[in-house]
Structure 1
Amino acid sequence: MRRAHTGGCRPCGQLVRVAPGGPVPWLLVSGPEATAVDNAAVEPLSTSPVADELAARFAAAGHRLYLVGGSVRDALLGRLSGDLDFTTDARPDRITSLLKGWADAIWDTGIAYGTVGATKRGQTVEVTTFRADAYDGVSRNPEVTFGDTVEGDLVRRDFTVNAMAYDVVNRELVDPTGGRRALRDRVLDTPATPQESFSDDPLRMLRAARFASQLGFRVAPRVREAMTAMAGELGRITAERVQAELAKLLTGADPRAGVELVVDTGLADVVLPELPAMRLEIDEHHQHKDVYQHSLVVLEQAVDLEDGPEPDLVLRLAALLHDIGKPDTRRFEEGGGVSFHHHEVVGAKMVRKRLRALKFSKEITEDVAQLVYLHLRFHGYGTGEWTDSAVRRYVTDAGHLLTRLHKLVRADCTTRNKRKANALQRTYDDLERRIERIAAEEDLKRVRPDLDGNEIMRLLGLPPGPQVGRAWKFLKELRLDRGPLDHDEAVAELLAWARAEGIEPPTGCPE
């Protein structure tokens, strides 16, 4: 990544990597040199061939063109993003006409809101007319009106760090609301008062928590106060929009920070009430782990165990919600004990209900619910007492989620007792070795009967139907219990089962 830095307070074009949440050297510069440093930081965006060509095209037609929003913010943070967002004084129809003949493809699905999208040589761009929206206060849908100045457009945006623009033609940063200073201080504040901003669009409150997770920012005190006072307004936002923000929050660099802000301000009471419900009261007679705090630690540990190129939303949701069933299953036992019997069963049902309400996909909902349902299964392993049959069932029940289940179970160990923690990890190491050994001997990923459906029908003289299904299930259970059988043994077992079921094999069938 080509990036200016401040060695001697002068941009030098050196390659610099900036860690999320870490210091950004050029933002520490102040005074007259700050402008040069800022412009150097953003310039790589505007000097791409696509941006240059687009700027020249708009300038020739007498229009202004600015890079805006997240792309400018990320450039100043040392994180060049792939897509380019522009704003202009040109109206939507004019934008479309200027893009025609230049872009490889154009789409106008957002034209009612002033946005036209295009691609050029694989680069995606969106160009939006200056906005001066007002919200109707009921549906929270914007009443679109177009503005005439970039400053007016920026002031209506959600946070000051997103309210900066870069004049592509004149190579100048436009920052009417102090966004650069907010980036330097890593603070989320609103251009207008938080009450005005959140009244315009209550989803911005949840977006603040998302940025806390993604960027490592803290919210300004007045923003936190407004979020707490106005949390109920979030109930007016559609489930789809809420779900999108929650997913981005959970896949951020520090999801715990975002979750804590959502819970502490009361936003979770509106969109994910099962989360704050895990903050169970504990008295001196009935001690147990703080379920909510435990879940936050499990989330952090699950993130640390991820090994793919992208954050694992399914694993993170399962880690956060794995004990969601504990409040409803807590029982105080005689002698001061506390139990949570079958909380994994109750929790899986609660996960399905909540994720469906939030419009998560069926695949994500079922995967998270299954992980929650299975997360305690390992604890029956003891010190290795499981038979090979039990190990096969563990793998079969986990299916494609087995790798995630491994990570979730390991992340679920939050005891401060190092001896106990090490013992649990060694035991799980042993289980994984056994899975690998058995998998080397047989195909655990596809535990199937030793006879297929066609052979079952031939041997028993049956047409397709429920009886074939029952026979297939019997053979699968037999395979789980005893491992692979040779062909003759599988046939003998099938025929014995059939006769016990009152099914008489055809004459000539092998005994």
Structure 2
Amino acid sequence: MRLLPVQFRPTPLLEAASSVIRTLKGAGFDSGIVGGGVRDSLLGRSLSDCDIVTAARPEELAKLFPGSRLVGASFGVSLVRHGGFEFEVAAARQERFYLDGRHPGEVRYTRDLAVDMQRRDFTVNALWYDPVTEIVHDAVGGIDDLERGVLRTVGEPEERFSEDYLRMLRAVRFVSRLRFRLDPAAERAIRRLAAKCGELTGERLRGELSSMLTGPDPAGAVRLLERTGILAVVLPEVAVLRGVEQPPEFHPEGDVLTHTLLMLEHMAKPDPLLAWSVLLHDVGKAVTQSRDETGRIRFFGHETAGAETAAAILERFRFSTAERDGIVQAVRNHMRFASVLRMKLAKLRRLLADPNFPLELELHRLDCIACHGILDVFVFLLDRLAETPHLQTLPEPFVMGRDLVAAGVRPGPRFRPVLEKVFDRQLAGAFASREEALACALRLLDSGG
């Protein structure tokens, strides 16, 4: 057991957690802050996560904190509100006999916190801190791994990953977030077990992948997913983009996956919708690649094929309807920016006023940066928005269906295309009044639209 004296930076969160631990220790139960909060504090980061492990059993904890609430009866996890914060307090335990790649078949309480640490995933997450004595306790070599910048499992890697297959994705996330190296033994185990990631639910996969894509090194995370074989299991539609050649005159950077990774590297903010739009924007290229008579590579309709593939992926990962619709629209529309400089005013106004436009504009910027680097269209659109900000809001149409009915026209299928044409002309500034627009609509109806 290595004991490291250290004084964490005082914060209201730490003080409230310390008060809970003092109460527990005062009643004779060894306790401490555990997990990511300890790890991040030792790395010089602010303490934002404060889980507590204790030798007290749930019923003993409830006597000390009558307002506590048992939320994980099988694992002895309670919620304790104290000092304006809510803490997850877990009874120290042992777990054995994982039968389904996630849930232990046997859970036993223990009074020894060092024993509890043996069931945890990675050594850097298996440290506990006693704020009363101001000592970090390390029974697994986590402090050394922190100092070396290595992510290593507690115990034998294959056994640890087999307990919960999601730990393989967590390993990738921690490596990319902490900028650590993955322990070679852990990487070998992941390669052997990668296929098991296919047994994970879409919701659990989405959570880990989204955390990677919005972390400090999303491209590095995807590269490690590819290297370990996980990418081919959980996102085969993205994995197959490796080796899909592109025309070098437009994509000197290389194949489709290289282009996608460069876009991820240039993301300026951790926006999950943008990150997923980037990751999936070119998934249609793998199935639409062709060559013309000169040998030039083409991807006709890849945005349409990509939108269909993206929709299936997002459904598989159980994204909300709103999230799925925004990402799929961005994938489907990402090629329309090529015609912006030739767009008529009405079409341009519809583009600028689209609620999804900010996402699509940033996707376009990243798309350009990661290939030819020409940002003419992006700058043009920014200039238009700066000069005429009202273009981002569409006006109320001069003419609607009820106006045509009031003019004596029987409703029918012709209404919609005629109203769209009239509204386009309105956006282009063709009418000075509603009367002019209505007269135009009636003429179009009389002439067959």
- The TM-score normalised by the length of structure 1 is 0.80
Within 2, Cα distance between the matches of 1:445 and 1:135?
A: 60
Structure 2 SS opposite 1:133: strand
1:361 maps to what in 2?
320
Select which of 421, 429, 434 maps to 2:379.
429
Letter in 1 for 2:376: R
Letter in 1 for 2:182: V
Within 1, Cα distance between the matches of 2:361 and 2:430?
A: 23
Structure 1 SS opposite 2:63: helix
Q: Does 2:186 correspond to 1:223?
A: yes
2:120 maps to what in 1?
157
Within 2, Cα distance between the matches of 1:430 and 1:58?
A: 63
Within 1, Cα distance between the matches of 2:204 and 2:349?
A: 41
The higher relative CO (CA closer than 8 Å, separation ≥ 6) is in 2
Letter in 1 for 2:255: D
Structure 2 SS opposite 1:412: helix
Deviation digits for residues 177-226 of structure 1, max 9, x if unmatched?
11111111111001111111111111111001111222111201111111
Q: What number of residue pairs does the alignment pair up?
A: 445
Within 2, Cα distance between the matches of 1:156 and 1:484?
A: 73
For the 8 Å contact 2:176–2:221, the answer to whether it is kept is yes
For the 8 Å contact 2:244–2:286, the answer to whether it is kept is no
Within 2, Cα distance between the matches of 1:116 and 1:283?
A: 54
Q: 1:390 to 1:216 in 2, by over 3 A?
A: same
Q: 1:438 to 1:285 in 2, by over 3 A?
A: closer
Within 1, Cα distance between the matches of 2:444 and 2:275?
A: 44
Offset at residue 470 of structure 1 (A): 6.1
Offset at residue 347 of structure 1 (A): 0.6
For the 8 Å contact 1:286–1:336, the answer to whether it is kept is no
Structure 2 SS opposite 1:108: strand
Q: Does 2:93 correspond to 1:131?
A: yes
For the 8 Å contact 1:448–1:479, the answer to whether it is kept is no
Alignment of 1:460-499 (within 5 A): 460=408, 472-482=419-429, 485-499=432-446
For the 8 Å contact 1:231–1:265, the answer to whether it is kept is yes
- The TM-score normalised by the length of structure 2 is 0.90
1:390 maps to what in 2?
347
Letter in 1 for 2:85: Q
Q: 1:285 to 1:119 in 2, by over 3 A?
A: closer
Structure 2 SS opposite 1:274: helix
Q: 1:287 to 1:334 in 2, by over 3 A?
A: farther
Select which of 66, 78, 96 maps to 1:100.
66
Q: Percent identity?
A: 32
Q: 1:180 to 1:285 in 2, by over 3 A?
A: closer
Q: Does 2:390 correspond to 1:451?
A: no
Offset at residue 402 of structure 1 (A): 1.4
Letter in 1 for 2:308: K
Deviation digits for residues 379-426 of structure 1, max 9, x if unmatched?
123xx3332223123224xx122122221111112467xxx63xx213
Higher fraction of strand: 2
Letter in 2 for 1:137: L
Q: 1:485 to 1:245 in 2, by over 3 A?
A: farther
Within 1, Cα distance between the matches of 2:428 and 2:208?
A: 45
Offset at residue 337 of structure 1 (A): 1.1
Deviation digits for residues 322-369 of structure 1, max 9, x if unmatched?
111100000122222111111111111111100110112222211111
For the 8 Å contact 1:325–1:343, the answer to whether it is kept is yes
Within 2, Cα distance between the matches of 1:484 and 1:199?
A: 69
Within 2, Cα distance between the matches of 1:98 and 1:270?
A: 47
2:205 maps to what in 1?
242
2:223 maps to what in 1?
260
Within 2, Cα distance between the matches of 1:332 and 1:316?
A: 30
Alignment of 1:106-505 (within 5 A): 106-138=68-100, 140-143=102-105, 144-280=107-243, 282=245, 289-301=254-266, 303-304=267-268, 306=269, 311-381=270-340, 384-396=341-353, 399-414=354-369, 421=373, 424-440=374-390, 443-452=391-400, 454-460=402-408, 472-482=419-429, 485-500=432-447
1:4 maps to what in 2?
none
Within 2, Cα distance between the matches of 1:193 and 1:290?
A: 37
Structure 1 SS opposite 2:308: helix
- What 5-or-longer segments of structure 2 have no aligned partner? none
Structure 2 SS opposite 1:323: coil
For the 8 Å contact 2:263–2:370, the answer to whether it is kept is no
Offset at residue 475 of structure 1 (A): 3.8
Within 2, Cα distance between the matches of 1:494 and 1:118?
A: 66
Deviation digits for residues 238-281 of structure 1, max 9, x if unmatched?
22111111111111111111111111111011111111100125
Within 1, Cα distance between the matches of 2:65 and 2:405?
A: 64
Q: 1:403 to 1:46 in 2, by over 3 A?
A: closer
Within 2, Cα distance between the matches of 1:78 and 1:148?
A: 30
For the 8 Å contact 1:130–1:148, the answer to whether it is kept is yes
Offset at residue 109 of structure 1 (A): 2.7
Offset at residue 148 of structure 1 (A): 2.6
For the 8 Å contact 1:285–1:336, the answer to whether it is kept is no
Letter in 1 for 2:137: V
Offset at residue 283 of structure 1 (A): 11
- Root-mean-square deviation (Å): 2.9
Select which of 35, 40, 47 maps to 2:4.
35
For the 8 Å contact 2:14–2:47, the answer to whether it is kept is no
Within 1, Cα distance between the matches of 2:388 and 2:442?
A: 28
Offset at residue 291 of structure 1 (A): 0.7
For the 8 Å contact 1:160–1:188, the answer to whether it is kept is yes
Offset at residue 456 of structure 1 (A): 4.7
Letter in 2 for 1:218: R
Deviation digits for residues 299-343 of structure 1, max 9, x if unmatched?
112x13x3xxxx201111111221111000001222221111111
1:22 maps to what in 2?
none
Offset at residue 496 of structure 1 (A): 2.5
Alignment of 1:49-88 (within 5 A): 49-88=15-54
Q: 1:492 to 1:70 in 2, by over 3 A?
A: same
Within 1, Cα distance between the matches of 2:305 and 2:415?
A: 33
Q: 1:281 to 1:327 in 2, by over 3 A?
A: closer
Q: 1:67 to 1:330 in 2, by over 3 A?
A: same
90-99 or 192-201: bigger deviation: 90-99
